[in-house]
Every structure is written in C-alpha cells, then in structure tokens.
Amino acid sequence: MSSTPALVWQADALAPALQALLPGLRVEIVASTGSTNTDLCERLRGGEATPVLRVAEAQTAGRGRAGRSWISAAGASLTFSLALPLSPRDWSGLSLALGAALADAIEPQPARLQLKWPNDLWLRDAPHAWRKLGGILIETVPLPRGDRACVVGVGLNVQPLAGVGGMDSGCAGVQEIAPALDAPALLARVAPVLAGALLRFEREGLAPFAAAYAGRDLLRGRVVRAAHGDSSVGVVEGVAEGIDADGALRLRHAAGVALLVGGEVGVRPAAAARED
C-alpha cells in the first residue's frame, strides 16, 4: 500500500552518500505501507539481495520487538528499514552498536538521550524519569549462496506522540533535542551513520561501540527486573552492571551475576534505584 509522499525527502541527494558505502543501494520512499521490515524481508526471501533503504511516512502494521506494534504518524515519525547482505563473525550486540551510533548521530554529546538494553532509545527527563523515543528491530534472512542478509528497522518519534497504548511513561520526540530536525532532515542525518555502523560492526564487532553504549546506558547501576526467556530461570531481580563483551546484560543478584541475552527488562521504581 503506497501513494505519493507528502513530505520533501530529497532522496536524490541522500542516495550518493549511501551508495558510497553500499554500492548499488536504492532509496525508496512511500507514503504508507504495512511494515518496511516486512516488505524487505519478503523481497530477500524472494531472492533479491540488492541493498535497499525503504522509508514510509506512515506504517499501518509496524512491528517492534517481541511482536509488539509500533505506532507511526506521517510527519510526526520517521520509520525506515535498511536491508543489505551482512557477514559479521558474531551477530551478538548488533542492536547495541546501532543504538549507540544512532544516539550519537541525533545528540552528539551524551546528555539526555540514553539506551535501554537491548534495542530502545529513551529521553531522560530527570534522574529516574524517561520517555521512549525510538527503537530498533533487526531481522536476518538466509540467502541462496549460504550467507545472510540483515534488515534493520528503525522507528523514531520526531514529535512526542500522545495517547500511545502501553506506554505509561509517555513518548518523547527528536525535536525536543534538535527542534530543527523534521523527518527528512533526520533521515539524512542518521541513515549514512547507520550504514557505516553496520559495515564497521561487520568488520570489528561490538567492541568499537562499547564505550559509546556505556556512556548512554540507562540501566547501569539501577535495580531492574528481568523476565528471562528461559523458563527455568524465571524472573531475576538485581542491579544492572552494564554489558559484557558480547552484549549480554550483566545483572548482579543475590546468587551472583546473571548474563541476560534475551527476555524482557523493566526498570524498578525510583525509590528502589541507585544513583549513578
């Protein structure tokens, strides 16, 4: 489902910057689609492996982590996906690396924009108060010759969105940090950074991004509850101690240190949290 975009995206100006990193890349911009990630995953499964940046002013079936829906609105959101063949030695920590790269592109000096493990960007309002600003959804698809392609979906609120279901903390927008950035200008800023980060991760893994992630780690030093994906582990509560070399969340609890590689993590109320 698509029609003529309402905003001025200047795709012809953006394409050369991306093609310098990813030769042959196409830039596609549509007014509306179900999900840019779904669109590109379906193409990859059909045998198309050309790098593509697909932008939708609005998504009717946008997806977040764990199958959640992602609300977007034309002009108030930036939703796009980047698909490309990728062959890192280890995929661990990719969402953390990309989150750090995106945050640095949006707000170069670490201040309010923070990262919530494993794939969210949150805006800090006070020592114990945050609002969600964006998220990253990563999917991989096997290619016929045996390697894989990666589809990175990014959803960023340009303006704060009101009345979003399931977001008791509220939603933040990029324009609270950079008022001059509309959706097209934000895309022009973050898309080349994202492409470069993907290529660097392919070569070097998580290590080059670890310090940037640590500087924006929302959970570090805070009491959190983790509903672990492994039912034998169940719910673990403890103090987050950052990430390990593979991107697992270190959680110190009564019995020692747990390394979390999946599951859901929730920040405890402010009264139970420890200051950084």
Tell me the C-alpha distance between 33 and 1, whole Å: 5
Give the 3-state secondary structure of residue 231. Answer: coil
Q: What is the pLDDT of residues 122-138, one digit of tens each?
A: 999 988 899 999 999 99
pLDDT of res. 14: 96
Tell me the C-alpha distance between 251 and 237, whole Å: 8
State whether 36 and 57 are in the same domain.
yes
Tell me the C-alpha distance between 41 and 146, whole Å: 16
Percent of the chain with pLDDT over 90: 71
pLDDT of res. 276: 37
Lowest mean pLDDT among 7-21, 166-180, 197-211: 166-180
The answer on pLDDT for 198 being more than 70 is yes
pTM here? 0.90
Q: Helices 94-106 & 183-204, crossing angle to 10 degrees?
A: 140
Q: What is the mean pLDDT of residues 189-203?
A: 98
Q: Which residue has the higher pLDDT, 19 or 146?
A: 19
Could you tell me if residue 83 is left (phi over 0), alpha (psi between -120 and 50 degrees) or otherwise beta? beta
CATH code at position 109:
3.30.930.10
Record the tokens describing residue 123, joined without a space: 């805006």
Residue 3 lies in a domain: no
State whether 204 and 119 are in the same domain.
yes
Residue 2 lies in a domain: no
Q: How confident is the model at residue 5 (pLDDT cuts 50, 70, 90)?
A: confident
pLDDT of res. 63: 64
Tell me the C-alpha distance between 244 and 255, whole Å: 18
CB 216 within 8 A of CB 114: yes
Q: Which residue has the higher pLDDT, 140 or 161?
A: 140
Q: What is the pLDDT of residues 237-267, one digit of tens each?
A: 899 999 999 999 999 998 899 899 877 788 7
Q: Of 182, 215, 248, which residue constitutes the final position of a domain? A: 215
Cα–chain-centroid distance for residue 32?
20
pLDDT of res. 3: 73
State whether 134 and 37 are in the same domain.
yes
The answer on pLDDT for 275 being more than 60 is no
pLDDT of res. 74: 77
Percent of the chain with pLDDT over 70: 87
Name the strands in the sheet holding 113-116, side by side, starting at the edge strand that comes first in the sequence: 26-33, 52-59, 77-86, 148-157, 129-142, 120-126, 113-116
State whether 172 and 101 are in the same domain.
yes
CB 53 within 8 A of CB 19: no
Tell me the C-alpha distance between 48 and 28, whole Å: 15
State whether 160 and 243 are in the same domain.
no
The answer on pLDDT for 9 being more than 50 is yes
Q: What is the mean pLDDT of residues 100-119?
A: 93
Q: What is the mean pLDDT of residues 38-56?
A: 95
CB 81 within 8 A of CB 37: yes
DSSP state letters, 40-97: HHHHHHTT--S-EEEEEEEESS-B-GGG-B----BTTEEEEEEEEEE--S--TTHHHH
State whether 29 and 76 are in the same domain.
yes
Q: Which residue has the higher pLDDT, 74 or 115?
A: 115
Residue-range definition of the domain harbouring residue 228: 223-272
Tell me the C-alpha distance between 62 and 65, whole Å: 10
State whether 166 and 262 are in the same domain.
no
Residue 4 lies in a domain: no
Q: How confident is the model at residue 231 (pLDDT cuts 50, 70, 90)?
A: very low
